[in-house]
Each structure stands twice: as C-alpha cells, then as structure tokens.
Amino acid sequence: MSLPRYAEYKDSGVASHGLVPSHWQVKRLRFVAELNPSKSEVASVDRQTQVSFLPMDAIGDDGAIRLDETRTLAQVENGYTYFRDGDVVIAKITPCFENGKGAVIRGLLDGVGFGTTELIVVRPKPQVATSDYLGWLFTSPTFRKDAEGAMYGAGGQKRVPDSFVRDYLDAVPPLDEQSTIATFLDRETGKIDALIAEQEKLLTLLAEKRQATISHAVTRGLNPNAPMKDSGVAWLGEVPAHWLIVRIKHVISSIEQGWSPQCENYPAETSEEWGVLKVGCVNGGVFRPSENKRLPDELEPMSQYALRQGDLLISRANTRDLVGGAAVVTEDHPKLLLCDKLYRLRIDGACCLSEFLAALLGADGARSQIELQASGASSSMLNIGQSVILDMPVALPPIEEQFRIVDFITTERRRLEELQRESKYAIDLLKERRSALVAAAVTGKIDVRNFAKMPV
C-alpha cells in the first residue's frame, strides 16, 4: 500500500520520532492522559458489588482481554490495580511488556474492574486524546523500544517505570485525526492479521500432514495394493501381510540410560570439549547435538556414554507430549555423552533400521501408547520405564523395504519442512509489515486523513 506523506513537517525534538507533521503538538503524556486513577472513584459503591477481575493471563499480547472472572469489590479494593471502561492498560513487568501485553479496556461488569498490580493504567483526557489512539501508540515499536530502554530492575523483575509513561514525549495529532488513524490501523492490521492466521493455519496443516505421512508409511507401507492382515495389536490395526509383528526387545542388542553430572549452563563450543546431552536433543524426531551442557573440566568424562552413529535415543522423562520422543544419532560424537533422562538403544541392523524404529515410535499409535503408560506426579515431568519401550509391539517390514520407507519419509519430511520454512518466512514479513505500518501511522510518517475515501 502506497500512502502519502504530510505536506509539512517539523523537528519533534524526540530522537525516536524525528520529523513529525507540523500541526501535531509535542507533549508529555501527563498532559494527554491521567495515570493510575484513584480508587476513590468507587468509594461509594457497595463492597459486595461484583466487579471484573483481570489477572495477567487474562490480558493478551494482541490487545484482547478475557472477562470471565469476577470478584467482590471488598476482595480487590486493596492490593490490586483499578481501572474502568475506556482506560488503556500496559503490562509493565518483563517479559509481559516485551510480549506486548496491553489493551483498551471495554466490557467490564458495570464498567468497573481490578487486576494485577503489574499494570500501568492510562486514562485519556477526552478533550485531547482517545483510548483507541493511545492503545495503538503503546503498541507501536517506537514506544516499545523507548520503554524497554527505560526499564529498571534485574533479571525477570525488570519493569517500565510509571514515570517513563507519564513523562513520555509524543507528537499528538488532533482528536479527529487520532480517530482516523485508529480506524485506519484497525482495518489494515486486521487484513494483515487475517493473512497471518492463514499462514499459521497452513503451518498446522503441514504439521498434521507430516505426522500422517510418517504414521501411514511405518504402519501401512508404501504399496497401497499390498495384502493386509490383522496385526493382533489394537493400536496397529491392519498391517501388510508379509510384515512381522515383534517386540522392540527382540530387535535390539542393548538399552541403557546415561549420566547426568552437574554441568555448566552453556553447551560445549568445540569438538574438543566434553558435553552431556539435554533431554530436548530428540524433540521433534530430529537429533540436535547442540542441545547439551558442557562438562566441567574437573569432572572425569564417562566415555562409555559417548555417542555413535546409529544410536537410537529416546527421552525417558519429559512432558506428556514429549516423553518417548525418539531420534537417531547421524554421526559419531566421541565427546558428547548420554544423559540419564535418555535411553540409548543399539539396534540389530540385520533386521531393523534405527531410522525406521524412530519413525515408528513417533507414529500416532505408538505415541498414544507411550503417553498412556507414562507415569509421574507432575505433568511437567513424566517417566516411561524400560519395559514400556522393550515390550512395545512393532510391525517390521523386510530390511530392504525399511530402506525404501525411510528414504520416502526423509524426502517427504524435507519437502514439508521447506513449505513450513516458507510459511514462517511469510509470517515474519507480515509481522514486520504490521509493526512498520503502526509505527508510521502514530509518528505521522504517512498521512491517512483520506482513509475514509480509500476502497475497502
């Protein structure tokens, strides 16, 4: 979209804004809005009155809010942040601020709400500012970058100070122009958001296609005309008649778990340094050797846990959707060691390929069995015993057919991953476009005053 610039500009005196339209007024936000209005406004309201309540997770990074929680005024009047319909809220603590949490508040119960103390509340002065325009201003990368530079505190407790927002210098358009800018951004970002949603839907479909392709290949084979038989295993169903039904323990030479000493909080950086794998090295069915922690120099490496090409690694402890994840080591790593949250299977290559078994363990049916048999007190760390793996039945094709299936899966995976990369790249470009459009509109780099005349 090509949009005109304003006819005349002036120096705003603000480095991040540069030149701004000559008729815009450069003001500190305290002259445009009131910050953190007083709770005395609800002093006369009955203490048992129900009001909307917004914890931080009820405020989205897309400007949406969830209004399903209420509390009595008596429960929230002390220790929580007050706001009402028409106010704009900004999350001030990291990482909520960096993630873009904030919203124009609408739809509160009787117009009144309270929420987390990690909010800055901005109430526009009706004669000089609108809620919608300020909402877009606080969303803009210009404001966000300036605010991040002003954050104070350490680590996960950094905050945007209220004084930064109060004293923020901004070029403020006239009221009618603010409304036009907000309406323009609502429409144009809505179009971009719709395109992003389409690409995200495509990513989901590609992931489903990849999973379905692998599952079908390792349980039905590549020949649609092959005679079938009942496997005798409920989750396997029918399999090609010439495939053998065996348990995993009959196609391996060994199974073991490794060693997890206290390591550094960073990975081994060279092939000369020793590292111990992290459990996430097998996530997604692909082995990632970079997912390791460096072994301290004072510890003697247990070299028997070094990785060899063809080792099949399976996570024995992880979240429900990741436990049992499997991947094959693609080359020797003589100084990279197995950790105790991973099983290593050495496969009998005469009857089974590591890559075929890894793909089978990632198939829908096998995943359902692993998740069903995983145990643990916490959903963030479930475990599977060796017997879950060893006793799992698999349908095994002849070795030559396994090679063909693995080649097919590799080709299809690469094709689908390339489509996923293209889709992710498109999403990144759309998000950049969205941010640039917001920044240009709220700093006056584009003139949208004729927006109403533009075709929808």
Residue 443 has pLDDT above 80, yes or no: yes
Residue 195: per-residue pLDDT? 97
Residue 223 has pLDDT above 70, yes or no: yes
What is the DSSP code string of 135-182? HHHHHSHHHHHHHHHH-BSSGGG-B--HHHHHT-EEEEPPHHHHHHHH
Residue 452: per-residue pLDDT? 58
Residue 454 has pLDDT above 90, yes or no: no
Q: 222-396 in CATH: which number?
A: 3.90.220.20
**Tens-digit pLDDT profile for residues 279-319:** 999 999 999 999 999 999 999 999 999 999 999 999 999 99
Q: Is 285 left (phi over 0), alpha (psi -120 to 50) or beta?
A: left
- Phi first, then psi, for residue 442 (nearest 5°) are -85, -10
Collapsing DSSP states into helix, strand and coil, what is residue 346?
strand
Q: For residue 51, give both structure tokens.
A: 């009001």
Cα torsion 241, 247, 252, 256: sign: positive
Residue 2: per-residue pLDDT? 75
- Whole-number Å distance between alpha carbons of 427 and 192: 10
Question: Among 246, 276, 273, which residue's Cα sits nearest to residue 261?
Answer: 276
Residue 455: per-residue pLDDT? 58
**Tens-digit pLDDT profile for residues 49-59:** 999 999 999 99
Question: Among 257, 260, 265, 271, which residue's Cα sits nearest to residue 333?
Answer: 271
Give residue limits of the domains in the chain. 27-172, 222-396
pLDDT band at 453 (very low <50, low <70, confident <90, very high): low
Residue 400: per-residue pLDDT? 97
Q: Give, in words, the CATH class of 27-172.
A: alpha beta
**Tens-digit pLDDT profile for residues 245-278:** 999 999 999 999 999 999 999 999 888 999 999 9
What is the DSSP code string of 171-208? EEPPHHHHHHHHHHHHHHHHHHHHHHHHHHHHHHHHHH
**Tens-digit pLDDT profile for residues 115-168:** 999 999 999 999 999 999 999 999 999 999 999 999 999 877 899 999 999 999
pLDDT band at 105 (very low <50, low <70, confident <90, very high): very high
Percent of residues, the chain, with pLDDT higher than 90: 93
Number of Cα atoms under 13 Å in the Cβ half of residue 102: 27
**Tens-digit pLDDT profile for residues 7-38:** 999 999 999 899 999 999 999 999 999 999 99
End-to-end CA distance of the chain: 12
CB 129 within 8 A of CB 178: yes
Residue 175 has pLDDT above 90, yes or no: yes
Residue 401 has pLDDT above 70, yes or no: yes
Residue 450: per-residue pLDDT? 87
Bridge partners of 306? 337
- Most distant CA pair in the chain: distance in Å? 83
The residue with tokens 């590549």 is 222
Average pLDDT across the chain, whole number: 94
Average pLDDT over residues 214-222: 95
Q: Angle 399-442/175-220 helices, nearest 10 degrees?
A: 180
